[in-house]
Amino acid sequence: MGHKASFINRIRQFWLASELGIMQRRRERRMLLLASFVMLLMGSGWGIFFGAKQQWSLVGLDLVLVVGALIVVFLTRRDQVRNASIALFGILFFVVSVIALVFDVPNAQVPRSTHFYLLPLAAAALLAFRADSFWLRHGVALLCLLAFGLLAGTQESPLPGYALSDTVRMGGVWVQIAAALLTLYALLHIMQNEVASRTELEDDLRLALKQKELQLHYQPQLNADGLVIGAEALLRWVHPRRGTVMPGQFIELAEQTGLILPIGLWVLQVACAQLSVWKDQSRMRHLRLAVNISPSQFKQIDFVPQVLTLIDRYKIDASRLELELTETMLVHDMADIIEKMSALRASGVSLSLDDFGTGYSSLNYIKRLPLNCLKIDQSFVRDVIGNPSDAAIVRMVLALGQSLNLEVVAEGVETEGQRQFLVDNGCAQFQGYLFSRALPINDFQDYARRHTAPA
Ligand code: C2E
Ligand code: MG
Ligand code: MG
């Protein structure tokens, strides 16, 4: 019975988790594949229908649909979700508008119906490009509505010779209108659900701090001898209904709503409190604790005083605290960033650059930043054995670390082969599932005691 309940619970958690975050991307891909499948079906079906009637210009348009569907599938499979969406909307807009304008020409007996598809297309554009630029989000939707309005209000065709006969059009009128409106209805329903689940998650996140649902887990960082030298603090949200929610599913929302500021401060405070506990334990006092800092957190005017106050309050050795910054935050206002980083370094705080290699920072920037440490992103470590360019990047980062006198931590080490490659190329610090996942505090302390040099 308990087994069954936990199985149902896991499905429920998966469903709730899929509402936002990483799963969102998978859902977008699935939607794109579904849309291209429908395009393929319609294109080939209508192509055969009009081929039998020897309407070659319409067969040509159906061919555009088929080829378009294949392009969308190709782009989606290569993870180019945005390009796939642009291609999908471009092709559908073109085909629907041309059919409505040239072939589905209205008269007193039979009205035009194809242009109704532009309504769900407008709604789908708002949904698909909701996280994109203003122009893409509103431009595509407004273009669809404008075309709908123009087609609803005109009867003239630029190419009168191509208009389909009333008998062919008559059969399709109600089917087309019903199909278009049902699609619109389904899209509105999806939109409404999305708004509701996002608002719910946001409301829950607001309460998470107050209700003590946030926790820090600690992922060990080891040296080449397999001894623990520190940990990275990683947030976990233990939600009463959703179960454990990973940061990938709520950090972005926290950023967008500004909730990351109180949450980030809480993380810093817990980390400093932990360091102050370890300070008095002989087998723990050497450990360094890394904390992830989000861009908006770092941008606060009083970020440096916040950190220094905590160090002071908990009376900890500042060099045991390491702040992990990301390349994305280095894009704006370098002067301010360097000033803050220098102030932190001057007080002894360690600074590392997380996910190194995935952003756009130039080597010139890296040289100017007062950093202690680079963290090689796990995406390079993953294929370091099989992929020569990843291997070259990893070697390059290790060499860069050496020549700039920076420590280098390899993230996401999962296999002994990866570890060996890294050791052979001079890497001295490691983090990854090969050693341990992020652990609750007590488990981490046990792990650290088991992996400490005997006194
Ligand atoms: P990150 O800082 O790059 O953290 C490393 C992530 O990789 C963690 O995921 C960790 O569990 C995972 N990881 C570690 N070793 C392996 C491995 O061997 N294989 C694989 N596949 N993954 C591994 P997690 O805990 O889900 O955190 C994801 C991201 O969320 C973090 O990436 C960080 O950017 C952000 N994050 C986590 N905690 C905080 C926080 O307190 N504040 C802020 N601003 N961001 C946080
Ligand atoms: Mg990190
Ligand atoms: Mg990282």
pLDDT tens-digit readout, 163-182 = 999 998 998 899 999 999 99
What pLDDT band is residue 16 in, cutting at 50, 70 and 90? very low
Q: Assess whether the C-beta atom of 247 lies below 6 angstroms from ligand 1.
A: yes
Per-residue pLDDT at 2: 44
Ligand 1 nearest atom to the CA of residue 255, by list position: 44
Nearest alpha carbon, ligand 1 atom 7: 412
> What is the arithmetic mean of pLDDT over 423-445?
98
User: Of 152-156, 357-361, 431-435, where does mean pLDDT reach its minimum?
Assistant: 357-361
> What is the arithmetic mean of pLDDT over 329-344?
89
Per-residue pLDDT at 4: 53
> What is the arithmetic mean of pLDDT over 15-32?
63
Q: Assess whether the C-beta atom of 352 lies below 6 angstroms from ligand 1.
A: no
Highest-confidence segment of 171-180, 191-200, 203-212, 410-419: 410-419
Highest-confidence segment of 130-139, 361-370, 411-420: 411-420
Q: Assess whether the C-beta atom of 43 lies below 6 angstroms from ligand 1.
A: no
> What is the arithmetic mean of pLDDT over 421-439?
98
410, two tokens: 């390899």
| CA neighbours closer than 13 Å in the CB half-sphere of residue 220 | 24
Nearest alpha carbon, ligand 1 atom 3: 355
Ligand 1 nearest atom to the CA of residue 235, by list position: 38
Question: How far is ligand 3, taken at its centre, from the CA of residue 88, in Å?
Answer: 33
Ligand 1 nearest atom to the CA of residue 433, by list position: 18
Question: How far is ligand 1, taken at its centre, from the CA of residue 234, in Å?
Answer: 6
Domains defined along the chain, listed by start: 2-200 (no CATH), 212-450 (3.20.20.450)
Neighbours of ion ligand 2 (CB under 5 A): 292, 324, 354
> What is the arithmetic mean of pLDDT over 410-437?
97
Distances in Å between the alpha carbon of 217 and those of 64, 220, 247, 350? 52, 10, 11, 20
- Report how far residue 203's alpha carbon sits from residue 235's, in angstroms, rounded to the nearest whole number: 18
DSSP β-bridge partners for residue 351: 323
Percent of the chain at pLDDT above 70?
94
User: Of 62-71, 280-289, 316-325, 329-338, where does mean pLDDT reach its minimum?
Assistant: 329-338
pLDDT in tens, 220-259: 999 999 999 999 999 999 999 889 999 998 998 999 899 9
Residue in 22, 292, 354 to alter for ligand 1 test, most ligand atoms within 8 A of Cβ: 292
Per-residue pLDDT at 22: 46
> What is the arithmetic mean of pLDDT over 104-113?
94
- Output the average pLDDT for the chain: 91
Question: How far is ligand 3, taken at its centre, from the CA of residue 315, in Å?
Answer: 28
- Report how far residue 43's alpha carbon sits from residue 59's, in angstroms, rounded to the nearest whole number: 8
Q: How far is CA 410 from the centre of its chain?
A: 22
